[in-house]
Amino acid sequence: MRWRILALLFLARIGLGLQFQTMASVGDDLSVAFGFDWAGIGVLIGLFMAPGLVLALPAGYWGRFVSDRIMVAAGLGVLALGGGLCALAAGPWSLGLGRVLGGVGFLFTTLYFTKMVADWFDGREIATAMSILVMSWPLGIAMGQLGHAWLAAQWGWRVPFLAASSYTLLAGLAVLWLYRPPAGLPAAQGGAAPSLSPMEWRLILCAAGAWAAFNAAYVVYLSFGPQMLSHHGQSDLAAAGVISLASWLMIFSGAACGQLVDRFGRRSLVLTSCMVAAIAAVLLLGAPAGGPGGGLAASLLFGLVGMAPAGVIMALAGQALRPETRAFGMGVFFTIYYALMMVTPPVAGLLLDKTGAPEAPLWLAAGLFALVVPLGFGFELNKTARVRPAPGQA
């Protein structure tokens, strides 16, 4: 049953990546239509994450009163509504409002998708399950990188927003109809949420920082990597195809990496090795001597190795928290995630505008990937301290 539930959540969560990618895919068209520079496009990308900064903690608390199924279905509906508003936008303000509204739906779905999988796989192959769930995000993005560009070329920039909204609306209906919680899980109930222990705070802060830095770097790669390849002479569609290759590959490498860690452990070694590969890939993409061939090699390395530990990092959140603190703890986790995700795209866009160097945003991505390693080690050190017997205890 749990694997069927995971399949349902995976298919529904594809809509998150599909909707998020719309803005980056039609950025050039919006620049022509509304006169945006790349810092402005970065702001619109980042606005998708803005609601999470103020709503993640309340969203975690509201799980005490409303079932996970309702939270996710409603969130997907709001996400579809935000995309529809962007499709009808007549100017920057309505575009921004649509992105913020979509971000509200994205927040609720992201938080409770993660909690649902943690509930179903608590103590059993959680790294594998989280890896599979997390891969729905790059799959949606990869579908959007190719599909949105084609739709925009054929029918204009509004159609990708409508297509993504249609998918997320159908996904919400599917979750509402088909999802069931695991047996024995306490039903949503009012009252104050249990407090996080000091150790849980340390663990969730390390996990959240690692997840936020990892994803922020990935978004910079997706949003500004095509500009680097266009600078080397590739067409916009060809550049989008090369960059999307990494997202397709990580769907398989991520699941394999989660299975590897579940079977053999060595999480810190795997995480460090993969982050070194990710840094090498983004630097290769930005190397002037790399050219189009370097872009293909960079995407292969990035997808096969650099992005493989996505689910392993996400699984840290489930391992940091007790079941009774999981909803609130996920709110803390995603508050930190959204804070970094909101500011990173505008900063990357500003670097590109100020320097005129298409590789400048990729330097930022490399620095963020490097930050994942000490945060991962910090999690391991605190987790080891939690399970270490007290002095004199057997």
In angstroms, the CA 361 to CA 238 distance is: 20
The DSSP element (H or E) to which 339 belongs, if any, is helix 326-355
Whether 15 has a pLDDT exceeding 90, the answer reads yes
Q: Which pLDDT score, from 0 to 100, does residue 191 have?
A: 54
Mean pLDDT of 162-177: 95
Contacts 24+ apart (CB under 8 A), 260-265: 261/127, 261/309, 261/312, 262/125, 262/126, 262/127, 262/128
Whether 138 has a pLDDT exceeding 90, the answer reads no
In angstroms, the CA 221 to CA 5 distance is: 31
In angstroms, the CA 62 to CA 43 distance is: 29
In angstroms, the CA 278 to CA 299 distance is: 10
In angstroms, the CA 112 to CA 75 distance is: 9
Q: Which tokens hold the place of 69?
A: 């199924």
Average confidence score pLDDT of the chain: 84
Q: Sketch out the chain's domains with CATH numbers.
A: 2-179+196-387 (1.20.1250.20)
pTM value surpassing 0.85 = no
Q: Which pLDDT score, from 0 to 100, does residue 394 have?
A: 37
Q: Which tokens hold the place of 343?
A: 């500011």
Reported as a single tens digit per residue, the pLDDT across 89-106 is 888 888 889 999 998 999
Mean pLDDT of 150-159: 89
Q: If you count them, how many residues does the chain have?
A: 394
Whether 171 has a pLDDT exceeding 90, the answer reads yes
In angstroms, the CA 204 to CA 210 distance is: 10
Return the number of other C-beta atoms located less than 10 Å from residue 237's C-beta: 13
Whether 374 has a pLDDT exceeding 90, the answer reads yes
Q: Which pLDDT score, from 0 to 100, does residue 306 have?
A: 92
Reported as a single tens digit per residue, the pLDDT across 275-303 is 999 999 988 886 655 455 667 888 899 99
Mean pLDDT of 251-260: 85
If we measure between CA atoms, which residue out of 356, 354, 352, 377 comes closest to residue 365?
352
- In 53-92, which positions are buried (b, 16+ CB within 10 angstroms) versus exposed (e)? bebbbebbebbeeeebbbbbbbbbbbbbbbbbbbbebeeb
Least confident of 120-129, 206-215, 227-236, 274-283: 227-236
Reported as a single tens digit per residue, the pLDDT across 331-351 is 888 888 888 887 888 888 888
Burial bucket for residue 235 (CB in 10 Å: 0-12, 13-18, 19+): exposed
pLDDT level of residue 185 (50, 70, 90 thresholds): low
Contact present, 236 and 28 (Cβ < 8 Å): yes
367 versus 119: the higher-pLDDT residue is: 367
First to last CA, the chain: 39
Whether 390 has a pLDDT exceeding 90, the answer reads no
Q: Which pLDDT score, from 0 to 100, does residue 167 have?
A: 96
How far from 236 is each of 27, 72, 239, 291, 310, CA to CA, in Å?
Answer: 11, 35, 5, 15, 27
Sign of the CA dihedral with 73 first, then 170, 313, and 100 last: negative
Q: Report the share of the chain in percent with pLDDT over 70.
A: 90
In angstroms, the CA 28 to CA 249 distance is: 26
Contact present, 49 and 100 (Cβ < 8 Å): no
Return the number of other C-beta atoms located less than 10 Å from residue 177's C-beta: 10
Sequence-separated (6 or more) residues with CB below 8 Å from residue 13: 109, 113, 133, 136, 137, 140, 171
If we measure between CA atoms, which residue out of 277, 293, 298, 307 comes closest to residue 225?
298
If we measure between CA atoms, which residue out of 113, 110, 131 comes closest to residue 20?
110
